[in-house]
Amino acid sequence: MTKLSVNINKVATIRNARGGNNPDIIQVALDCESYGADGITVHPRPDERHIRYNDVISLKPQLSTEFNIEGYPQKSFIDLVKLVRPTQVTLVPDSPDQITSNHGWDTKANFEFLSDLVAEFTEYGIRTSIFVDADPEMIDYAVKTGTDRVELYTEPYASAYKKDPASAIAPFVEAARIVKKNGLGLNAGHDLSLENLAYFHQQIPWTDEVSIGHALICDALYLGLKETILKYKECLGK
């Protein structure tokens, strides 16, 4: 069954806008779990404009579901992940000044770098996932790094969904089949929403996990957090 990991970065953005601890990041994460989320995702960036490194450290002992830390593997990030030892680390090729992720790794050009990281995190008992585009060659090289999973960057699917769902999903189905054939786990994320998630899941039901933040938190402004999480899980057949 496909798990729903809730990315709480946007909640931290609201908190940071005023200082203090409102909303309380840890309480929101615990509430997400109690409402049915299968995991919590955070994406700490060097400028700590949303989730802060201290948040990540504080969250780990409080959570009862899977904890996924995603981000660019600079030294401070690597040290944080090794300290916290989450369930999963997702390696994302973000530059420090990026507003949000907008492409997957060139796994061919960065093969040695990624292979070394996978080996390092594996020694710490941390499941690894590499963020990739729906490109067969990039997936092939990701497989060779020894990673446990790949995460498909789904913004191109989300952008094209309204116009032609079948065409939008086609390259992702092909990519997902390659992942499955090679025995890797499959994650997906970026711009998945209540509008397009159910169709994605219907076409690629062997997806292990979807990580959703921005759209889910926006929906929660209208529906409430509990109802929103329930609706996203319905899209996953739960």
Among candidate residues 137, 162, 163, the one with its CA nearest the CA of residue 150: 137
Q: Annotated active-site positions, please?
A: 43, 70, 190
Tokens of 73: 């593997």
Q: How far apart are CA 98 and CA 38, in angstroms?
A: 28
**Under 8 Å between Cβ of 128 and 149:** yes
**Cα atoms found within 13 Å of the Cα of residue 128, Cβ hemisphere only:** 26
3-state secondary structure of 123: helix
Q: Nearest 5°: CA angle at 84, between 80 and 89?
A: 75
